[in-house]
């Protein structure tokens, strides 16, 4: 949905930029801010999705007992490193 919103606003902005007399400066600014905000949120959304998928895999494997103890420990270690990297990338994308 966020990708569709980004595409819609971008197309609308490109179409309206040629018809400057039809759109006020504040409307063009608001549309460009919507595009910029959407562009910033898309990576954050996908990174949170990746983190949630990894946490769900840990939870399901623990709940259903799919892994032995050593595999669980490896999965938890991987999950900790993966989530730390994902949250770092989220912070990096917000700072940018």
Question: What is the rounded CA–CA span in Å between residue 42 and residue 3?
Answer: 7
Q: What is the tens place of the pLDDT at every residue in 53-76? A: 999 999 999 899 898 999 989 999
Query: Of 94, 95, 5, whose CA–CA distance to 43 is shortest?
Result: 94
As a whole number, mean pLDDT of residues 24-49 equals 87
Query: Of 86, 78, 85, 96, whose CA–CA distance to 36 is shortest?
Result: 96
Structure confidence at residue 39 (pLDDT): 87
Q: How confident is the model at residue 22 (pLDDT cuts 50, 70, 90)?
A: low
Q: How confident is the model at residue 48 (pLDDT cuts 50, 70, 90)?
A: very high
- Inform me whether the pLDDT recorded for 21 exceeds 60: no
2-17 helix and 25-63 helix, angle to the nearest 10 degrees: 160
Return the domain boundaries, the chain.
2-95
Structure confidence at residue 17 (pLDDT): 66
Q: Is the dihedral of CA 42, 17, 27, 22 positive or negative?
A: negative
Q: How confident is the model at residue 20 (pLDDT cuts 50, 70, 90)?
A: low
Q: Count of CB atoms within 10 A of residue 70's CB?
A: 8
């Amino acid at each position: 949905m966020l990708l569709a919103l980004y595409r819609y606003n971008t197309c609308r902005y490109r179409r309206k930029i040629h018809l400057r007399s039809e759109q006020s400066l504040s409307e063009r600014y608001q549309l460009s801010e919507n595009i910029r905000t959407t562009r910033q949120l898309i990576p954050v959304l996908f990174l949170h999705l990746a983190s949630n998928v990894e946490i769900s895999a840990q939870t399901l494997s623990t709940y259903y007992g799919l892994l032995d103890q050593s595999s669980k420990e490896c999965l938890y270690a991987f999950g900790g490193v993966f989530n730390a990297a994902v949250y770092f990338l989220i912070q990096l994308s917000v700072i940018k």
